[in-house]
Amino acid sequence: MAKKITDKDGKTYVQVKPWYKRWWIWVIIAIVALILIGSLSGNSSNSKAGSGSGSNTQISSPSKITVDYDDYNVKSSKIYKVDYSNNDWDEADVKINKVTVYKLAKPYKFDSANDGKYDINGFIKLDMTIKANGDISIYPQQGTAVIGSEQEEAVGESWDGDINKGAEKSGEVYIPVKDLEKTTSISNIRFKFSGNDQNDMESDHDYDLTLNLDNN
């Protein structure tokens, strides 16, 4: 109940409580604070989810990529963690750690070594590691890939070739893609390349790998 005050002239006034002494003001402040805290927590969770790893992870696209010394603007990209390993040949251990699919911002003219110039809409990047158990020569960057009904030759800045026993090399292999609607359009990749023993050119090995991309 409001308190009444009478001054020296006999006038009566009603004393009004300051706003900070009104209980309902503090209820409103508490509700607003809870809403703000909840909103900040939600934004934090979303940020962490975007940087996590799993069978596939959508990432913020780079503005461009450089393939075989040429630059390409990128619209979107997606990383697939495949963790593929192959020990079929005693002379080498081959691993493909992840696959990245790039959707380009526009069609580009691609100048291939054997098929001339043609339009492409994307690239596939294979992140590979090769450990030599003997003195070998191995050439994934001269491999071929089958994507759906499309067959393409691999490209990239040279890191493969001769690898001596006990050494390990890691590098990237790029595969141009003519038809690519979006980064989730590819479900599997067949990739073929070869290697041989440096001391016995007749002792060669052909790799024929299939990489399944999980788009679920």
Residues 136, 93 within the same domain: yes
Q: What share of the chain is helix, strand, coil (3-state, %, to 5)?
A: 15, 55, 30
Residues 109, 138 within the same domain: yes
| Domains contained in the chain, number | 2
Report the DSSP pairing between strands 116-132 and 150-153. unpaired
For residue 153, the Cα-to-chain-centroid distance in whole angstroms is 22
**Quick check: 50 pLDDT over 90?**
no
Q: Are 68 and 159 in contact (CB under 8 A)?
A: no
**52 falls in which pLDDT band (50, 70, 90)?**
very low
Domain that holds residue 38: 6-50
Residues 44, 66 within the same domain: no
**Quick check: 108 pLDDT over 90?**
yes
Residues 39, 60 within the same domain: no
Is 1 contained in some domain? no
- 137-196 confidence digits (pLDDT tens): 999 999 999 999 999 999 987 899 999 999 999 999 999 999 999 999 999 999 999 999
Q: How many CB atoms sit inside 10 A of residue 107's CB?
A: 12
Residues 101, 191 within the same domain: yes
Question: E strands of 23-69, at which residues?
Answer: 56-58, 64-67
The structure tokens 């090399």 sit at 169
Residues 200, 144 within the same domain: yes
Is 133 contained in some domain? yes
Share of the chain above pLDDT 70, in %: 75
Residues 46, 60 within the same domain: no
